[in-house]
């Protein structure tokens, strides 16, 4: 006799709570987005000062360390000259007190030729900076709500909360925002990334709650496997990080062509974006490096994701690889990212060309997620749409 | 395949500045004649640029297969597509667009890619072995030209400063040696090891797949609850082998399907969605079918028996039907698998009563065709015909039409067991209308024209299994794991060189110079050099009154301007 699975497998209170959290997270992300917009708008008013508070305080610390009292303790001081991409040099000064472990690092600027990072979205405006800080606080709040939404959804059915596209999207918005917040917490120069991150998170959740929504339920047998937790969570983490890299690449390409236009005497950036936006962005080498580093960090994880998928396919269907559309597009994405990494190492392909490849790779990733799930049927067609 | 930007203008320092064993690319044919061209072609093929293009082509070539139906994936879909696009079919056939991943052009691209890889990796491996055996390259003449540089003046003797530097570098696990009054040190060889390992393990992956395609086989079998199966050619419904695994190599084992459990969502949006499928079996290995073990097979957990894996692929219902002739003698009794047509398991099937015997002095056979519905509606929808409402067996019903005549089973031609050959059959009529019936389990049907009766005794479930023998998995898996390990090494480890030179200056003091080199992506080398320098000042303290040698390059407000480069 067939047993009828009853609805008792779902805790509807938790499922409901999850929905509320997701809706709130979306609202908070939208507020964060507005705060960032104010930051960018007000930031354009003040003069663009090429100096950030952070670095000034570092300089103070270094000065304190080199003060007479410290010098009496016999300070050791080394200044390292660093050749910068683009031809100039910068310096790094390390001061250590003999007998004490602490060292202070100071960064300085060398000759004038080399590219300089902009001061960030807020420019020199304090009001803009305040909005920026509000935006970051809201983003953290949104991320916490997002975590709660994903977690309650999982607890409502006691399984990993990524069994259909609605659930992937909720997790995806979380990893996108987390990638940004982690970079920020690591002290990277990524405050500019706030706007793209919350914008994408709000859009993803908007799509999830409107088009992709489905009630919390148990899984189809094809997904009853611990590989769901491994393979799909890796794919979602990769998605968040790839997005951050994508935004950096886009910013790099924008700033690069702005720099060229500026050199040619044109007033605006590409697509009529005002110059002040680009002036506040980090310099091209910084953006380029950021996107490369994220992509390079994530690529092994992406490789693992695909291999874990293949192992799962073997357990489920008896074959590692059958060129199912999802597999094919994962492979294509992987190959394009591999091509990007190769391009970075090939003379004549660095810079803009490699940047275009990185954009293409992310487009393939997105297509694999939305396009393949929605438009193409294959064995992965339990995504819960349509 | 990483390469370092060559900043060198001085060829003698080029060796010191190369941090990768990637090939240096030539632009034009060297030498004359066919050999020169051959060598040039080979060098082109094994260059980074061509590898890049091939990678790109491979991803492009993979696209059509995801958009056009593929024979290997779903032959039926290909047939449908061909029927709908008669004009394009010949062209697509010629271009092998229905078999993209085994097509000549797709194979050509990846074979070229692997040839290119081999041509790149073999020389690089040798070169790298050479690097490991040789000492790190000696310091370039002009250290200030290196990407990171620091210097100061001291009263320590040059030789002592150099010795201290070598000791410190060794403590930091650099390979360091002194030559020409300078320490040359290098670290991070794991990067190259990882890179080579990654690319080599792609070959292991390929070898695993090749082995699998040469020595694997797969068969399918439908088993009704209560029935058994032994893994031989005669019992399999279908089998596809390979060069090294034919019907005579089938692993000896068998099993009996004791029962099949399926559960479905019964409420909400997802009503009817499957929740679990489990086949409960008894199985044996080898020649002795009495040594039984019990096991379960479900969608994500195949059972491994005697070198084969048994996967659960599909399931359905088999109504149990008894047919009696007009005298009441049982002429047919069996469970007949009906094939599911939709997600609610509306199933179709046929019953072939080949041994009916004689009626009115003539040999006759009966055939029935119709539907099995696990959950039948009270009233069928006229436009769609019988449709099940739910995949579980909440209200099972059997709907049948009856035919009499010749089934065609004696013609010797192979027949589809799920279809009636209608050419010599005529439908039984009742009151001038085609005879048909709807039965619940336990009900019977008295056939018109004195053909006897049919009873629907009940139903069993059936499950389909795929029996697959695939060697080479461990090779491919090892390749995959090594590929990831190699990738991590190759992307996260920095290979770097540090040189320390101490020379006596004309005024009787010593100038200590440090320089470092790494790939341009990393700024860590500056930090590392600074730490080393600070440590070295314990042995070679900077002169208090003396300004650093590179002082002139340090502007007054050095600390007041951002330079993100060194901060990361
Ligand atoms: C060769 C085997 C496989 C490969 C290469 C593969 C690859 C991938 C990749 C790359 C993704 C992420 C796509 C994205 O989010 O854009 C993905 C998602 C997913 N895979 Fe697989 N997969 C394989 C096998 C399987 C198997 C056997 C299952 C389960 C029966 C499975 C279930 C899923 C699920 C649930 C997702 C979530 C996202 C979605 O479907 O859109 N995969 N797969």
ipTM of the complex in this document: 0.71
Residue B181 clears pLDDT 80, i.e. is over it:
yes
Q: Which of B148, B302, B521 sits opposite A289 (nearest CB)?
A: B521
pLDDT at residue A204, as a whole number: 93
More confident residue, A224 or A384: A224
Separation of CA A3 and ligand 1 centre (Å): 29
Q: Which of A55, A221, A224 sits opposite B562 (nearest CB)?
A: A55
Same domain, B17 and B46: yes
Contact B169, B524 (CB under 8 A): no
If we measure between CA atoms, which residue out of B120, B101, B19 comes closest to residue B490?
B19
Pick the last residue of a domain from B447, B481, B515: B481
Provide the strand spans (E) within B308-428.
308-324, 330-335, 339-340, 347-359, 362-373, 397-405, 425-427
For ligand 1, atom 21: residue with the closest CA? A309
pLDDT band of B317, cuts 50, 70, 90: very high
Chain B contact for A106 (CB, 8 A cutoff): yes
Mean pLDDT of the region B58-81: 82
pLDDT at residue B25, as a whole number: 53
Nearest 5 degrees, angle CA B237-CA B243-CA B247? 30
Q: What are B222-242's pLDDT values in tens digits?
A: 999 988 888 888 888 888 878
Interchain contact, A320 vs B487, CB within 8 Å: no
Q: What is the mean pLDDT of chain B?
A: 81
Residue B361 in domain: yes
pLDDT at residue A45, as a whole number: 65
Separation of CA B298 and ligand 1 centre (Å): 19
Identify which of A228, A380, A383 to mutate to test ligand 1's pocket (most ligand atoms within 8 A of the CB): A380
pLDDT at residue A264, as a whole number: 81
- Judge if pTM exceeds 0.80: no
More confident residue, A296 or B474: A296
pLDDT band of A171, cuts 50, 70, 90: very high
Same domain, B235 and B175: no
Report the percentage of chain A scoring pLDDT > 90.
30
Range in A90-94, A314-318, A370-374 the model is least confident about: A90-94
Exposure b/e, B497-532, CB count within 10 A at least 16 = b: bbbbbbeeeeeeebbbbbbbbbbbbbbebbbbbbbb
Interchain contact, B48 vs A316, CB within 8 Å: no
The Cβ of residue A155 has, within 10 Å, a number of other Cβ atoms equal to 16
pLDDT at residue B551, as a whole number: 41
Separation of CA B524 and ligand 1 centre (Å): 37
Same domain, B64 and B94: yes
More confident residue, B540 or A384: B540
Residue B61 clears pLDDT 80, i.e. is over it:
yes
Chain A: closest CA distance from residue B522 (Å): 9
Question: Which atom, in ligand 1's list, is nearest to the CA of A236?
Answer: 15
Chain B CB contacts of A300 under 8 Å are 484, 487-488, 491
Same domain, B275 and B153: no
Residue B531 clears pLDDT 60, i.e. is over it:
yes
pLDDT at residue A285, as a whole number: 81
Mean pLDDT of the region B390-394: 87
Pick the last residue of a domain from B481, B515, B542: B481
Same domain, B3 and B122: yes
Expressed as residue numbers, the domain containing B18 is 1-134
Assigned token pair, A93: 């000064």
Instruction: Report which secondary-structure segment, H or E, holds B227.
Output: none
Chain A contact for B262 (CB, 8 A cutoff): yes
Chain A contact for B35 (CB, 8 A cutoff): no
Identify the bridge partners of residue B293 per DSSP, sorted by sequence position: B283
Give CA separation, B26 vs A353, B45, B48, B356, in Å.
Answer: 21, 11, 11, 83
Which of B121, B317, B538, B564 best tests the A interface by mutation, with the highest count of A CBs <10 A? B564
Residue B487 in domain: no
Q: Which of A105, A221, A324 sits opposite B274 (nearest CB)?
A: A221
Q: Which of A6, A107, A222 sits opposite B299 (nearest CB)?
A: A222
Same domain, B7 and B38: yes
Separation of CA B197 and ligand 1 centre (Å): 26
For ligand 1, atom 37: residue with the closest CA? A232
Chain A CB contacts of B100 under 8 Å are 323
Separation of CA A299 and ligand 1 centre (Å): 16
The percent helix, strand, coil of chain B (3-state, each to 5) is 35, 30, 35
Same domain, B250 and B267: yes
More confident residue, B461 or B271: B461
Chain A CB contacts of B560 under 8 Å are 51, 55-56, 59, 108-109
pLDDT band of B13, cuts 50, 70, 90: low
Q: What are B366-383's pLDDT values in tens digits?
A: 999 999 999 988 888 778
Residue B207 in domain: no
Q: Which of B56, B150, B311 sits opposite A81 (nearest CB)?
A: B150
Tell me how many residue pairs between chain A and chain B have CB atoms under 8 A apart: 301
Separation of CA A326 and ligand 1 centre (Å): 6
Residue B488 in domain: no
Mean pLDDT of the region A183-188: 88
Q: Which residues, including other chains, have CB under 8 Å from residue B367's CB and lie 6 or more apart?
A: B350, B351, B352, B353, B402, B403, B404, B405, B407, B420, B425
Same domain, B275 and B288: yes
Structural domain count, chain B = 4
Same domain, B414 and B330: yes
Chain B contact for A347 (CB, 8 A cutoff): yes
If we measure between CA atoms, which residue out of B492, B495, B493, B542 comes closest to residue B514?
B542
pLDDT at residue A85, as a whole number: 57
Pairing outcome for strands B253-265 and B228-230: antiparallel
Q: What are B464-484's pLDDT values in tens digits?
A: 888 888 887 778 888 888 999
For ligand 1, atom 10: residue with the closest CA? A330
Mean pLDDT of the region B73-86: 81
Chain A CB contacts of B67 under 8 Å are 376
Same domain, B288 and B333: no
Same domain, B6 and B118: yes
pLDDT band of B96, cuts 50, 70, 90: confident
Residue B201 in domain: no
Chain A contact for B380 (CB, 8 A cutoff): no
Residue B50 clears pLDDT 50, i.e. is over it:
yes
pLDDT band of B561, cuts 50, 70, 90: very low
pLDDT band of B565, cuts 50, 70, 90: very low
Pick the last residue of a domain from B435, B454, B481: B481
Q: What are A216-240's pLDDT values in tens digits?
A: 777 677 677 788 888 999 999 999 9
pLDDT at residue B528, as a whole number: 84
pLDDT at residue B486, as a whole number: 92
Chain A CB contacts of B59 under 8 Å are 331-332, 335-336, 339, 364
Chain B contact for A224 (CB, 8 A cutoff): yes
pLDDT at residue B92, as a whole number: 87
Phi, psi at residue B501, to the nearest 5°?
-125, 140
Q: Which residues, including other chains, have CB under 8 Å from residue B533's CB and lie 6 or more apart?
A: A78, A80, A94, B150, B152, B514
pLDDT band of A73, cuts 50, 70, 90: very low
Residue B202 in domain: no
Residue B288 in domain: yes
More confident residue, A92 or A245: A245
Same domain, B240 and B374: no
pLDDT at residue A237, as a whole number: 94
pLDDT at residue A96, as a whole number: 67
Q: What is the mean pLDDT of chain A?
A: 78
With H, G, I as helix, E, B as strand and everything else as coil, classify residue A380: coil
Separation of CA A354 and ligand 1 centre (Å): 27
pLDDT at residue B555, as a whole number: 38
More confident residue, B340 or B17: B340
- What is the CB < 6 Å shell around ligand 1? A 168, 222-223, 231-232, 235, 239, 305-306, 309-310, 312-313, 316, 320-321, 326-327, 330, 365, 368-369, 373, 380, 383
Chain B contact for A215 (CB, 8 A cutoff): yes
pLDDT band of B566, cuts 50, 70, 90: very low
A78: exposed, middle or buried (Cβ count in 10 Å: 0-12, 13-18, 19+): buried
Residue B195 in domain: no
Q: What are B321-362's pLDDT values in tens digits?
A: 999 988 888 999 999 999 888 888 899 999 998 888 888 888
CATH of the domain at B163: 3.30.310.50
């Amino acid at each position: 006799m067939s047993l009828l699975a009853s609805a008792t497998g779902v805790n509807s209170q938790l499922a409901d709570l999850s929905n509320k959290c997701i809706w709130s997270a979306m609202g908070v992300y939208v507020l964060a987005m507005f705060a960032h917009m104010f930051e960018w708008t007000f930031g354009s008013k003040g003069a663009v000062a090429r100096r950030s508070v952070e670095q000034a305080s570092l300089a103070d610390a270094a000065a304190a360390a080199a003060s007479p009292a410290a010098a009496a303790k016999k300070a050791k001081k080394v200044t390292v000259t660093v050749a910068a991409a683009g031809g100039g040099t910068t310096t790094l000064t390390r001061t250590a007190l003999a007998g004490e472990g602490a060292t202070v690092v100071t960064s300085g600027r060398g000759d004038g030729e080399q590219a300089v990072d902009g001061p960030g979205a807020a420019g020199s405006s304090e009001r803009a900076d305040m909005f920026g800080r509000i935006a970051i606080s809201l983003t953290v709040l949104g991320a916490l709500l997002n975590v709660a939404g994903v977690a309650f959804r999982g607890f409502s059915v006691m399984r990993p909360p990524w069994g259909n596209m609605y659930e992937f999207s909720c997790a995806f918005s979380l990893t996108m925002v987390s990638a940004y917040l982690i970079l920020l917490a690591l002290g990277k120069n990524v405050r500019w990334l706030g706007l793209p991150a919350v914008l994408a998170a709000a859009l993803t959740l908007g799509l999830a709650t409107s088009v992709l929504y489905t009630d919390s339920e148990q899984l189809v047998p094809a997904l009853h496997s611990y590989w769901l937790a491994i393979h799909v969570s890796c794919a979602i983490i990769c998605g968040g990080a790839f997005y951050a890299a994508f935004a950096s690449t886009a910013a790099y390409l924008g700033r690069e062509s702005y720099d060229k236009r500026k050199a040619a005497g044109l007033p605006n950036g590409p697509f009529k974006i005002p110059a002040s936006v680009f002036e506040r962005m980090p310099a091209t080498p910084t953006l380029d490096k950021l996107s490369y580093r994220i992509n390079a960090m994530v690529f092994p994880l992406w490789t693992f994701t695909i291999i874990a998928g293949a192992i799962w396919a073997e357990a489920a269907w008896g074959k590692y690889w059958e060129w199912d559309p999802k597999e094919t597009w994962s492979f294509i994405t992987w190959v394009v990212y591999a091509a990007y990494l190769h391009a970075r190492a090939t003379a004549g392909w660095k810079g803009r060309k490699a940047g275009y490849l990185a954009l293409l790779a992310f487009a393939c990733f997105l297509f694999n997620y939305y396009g393949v799930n929605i438009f193409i049927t294959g064995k992965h067609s339990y995504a819960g749409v349509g | 395949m990483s390469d370092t930007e060559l900043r060198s203008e001085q060829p003698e320092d080029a060796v010191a500045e190369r941090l990768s064993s990637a090939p240096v690319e030539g632009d034009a044919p060297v030498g004359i004649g066919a050999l020169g061209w051959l060598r040039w072609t080979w060098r082109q093929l094994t260059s980074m640029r061509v590898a890049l293009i091939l990678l790109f082509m491979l991803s492009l070539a993979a696209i059509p297969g995801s958009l056009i139906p593929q024979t290997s994936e779903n032959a039926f879909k290909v047939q449908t597509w061909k029927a709908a696009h008669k004009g394009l079919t010949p062209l697509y056939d010629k271009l092998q667009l229905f078999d993209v991943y085994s097509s000549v052009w797709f194979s050509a691209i990846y074979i070229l890619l692997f040839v290119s890889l081999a041509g790149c990796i073999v020389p690089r491996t040798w070169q790298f072995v050479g690097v490991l055996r040789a000492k790190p390259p000696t310091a370039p003449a002009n250290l200030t030209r290196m990407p990171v540089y620091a210097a100061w003046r001291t009263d320590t003797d040059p030789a002592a400063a150099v010795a201290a530097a070598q000791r410190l570098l060794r403590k930091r696990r650099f390979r360091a040696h002194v030559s020409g009054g300078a320490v040359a040190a290098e670290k991070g060889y794991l990067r190259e090891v990882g890179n080579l390992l990654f690319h080599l393990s792609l070959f292991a992956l390929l070898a695993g797949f090749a082995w699998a395609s040469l020595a694997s086989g797969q068969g399918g079998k439908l088993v009704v609850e209560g029935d058994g199966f032994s893994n031989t050619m005669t019992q399999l419904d279908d089998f596809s082998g390979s060069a090294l695994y034919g019907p005579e190599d089938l692993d000896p084992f068998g099993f009996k399907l004791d029962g099949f459990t399926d559960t479905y969502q019964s409420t909400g949006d997802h009503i009817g969605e499957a929740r679990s499928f489990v086949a409960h079996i008894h199985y044996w290995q080898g020649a002795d079918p009495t040594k039984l073990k019990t096991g379960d097979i479900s969608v994500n957990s195949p059972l491994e028996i005697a070198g084969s894996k048994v996967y659960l692929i599909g399931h359905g219902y088999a109504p149990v039907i008894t047919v009696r002739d007009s005298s009441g003698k049982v002429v047919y009794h069996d469970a007949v698998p009906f094939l599911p047509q939709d997600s609610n398991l509306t199933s179709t099937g046929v019953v072939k009563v080949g041994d009916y015997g004689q009626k009115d002095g003539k040999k006759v056979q009966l055939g029935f065709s119709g539907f099995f519905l696990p959950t039948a509606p009270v009233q069928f929808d006229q436009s769609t015909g019988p449709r099940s409402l739910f995949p579980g067996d909440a209200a099972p019903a059997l709907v049948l039409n009856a035919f009499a005549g010749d089934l065609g089973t004696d013609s010797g031609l192979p027949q589809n067991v799920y279809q009636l050959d209608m050419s010599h059959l005529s439908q039984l009529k009742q009151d001038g209308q085609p005879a048909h019936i709807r039965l619940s389990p336990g009900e019977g049907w008295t056939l018109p024209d004195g053909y006897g009766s049919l009873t629907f005794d009940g139903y069993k479930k059936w499950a389909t299994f795929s029996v697959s023998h695939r060697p080479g998995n461990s090779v491919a898996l090892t390749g995959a794991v090594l590929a990831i390990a190699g990738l991590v090494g190759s992307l996260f480890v920095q290979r770097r060189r540090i040189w320390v030179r101490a020379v006596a200056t004309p005024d009787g003091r010593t100038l200590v110079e440090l320089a470092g080199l790494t790939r341009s992506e990393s700024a860590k080398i500056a930090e590392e050099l600074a730490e080393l320098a600070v440590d070295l000042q314990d042995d070679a303290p900077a002169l208090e009154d003396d300004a650093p040698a590179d002082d002139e390059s340090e502007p007054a407000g050095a600390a007041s301007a951002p330079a993100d480069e060194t901060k990361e």
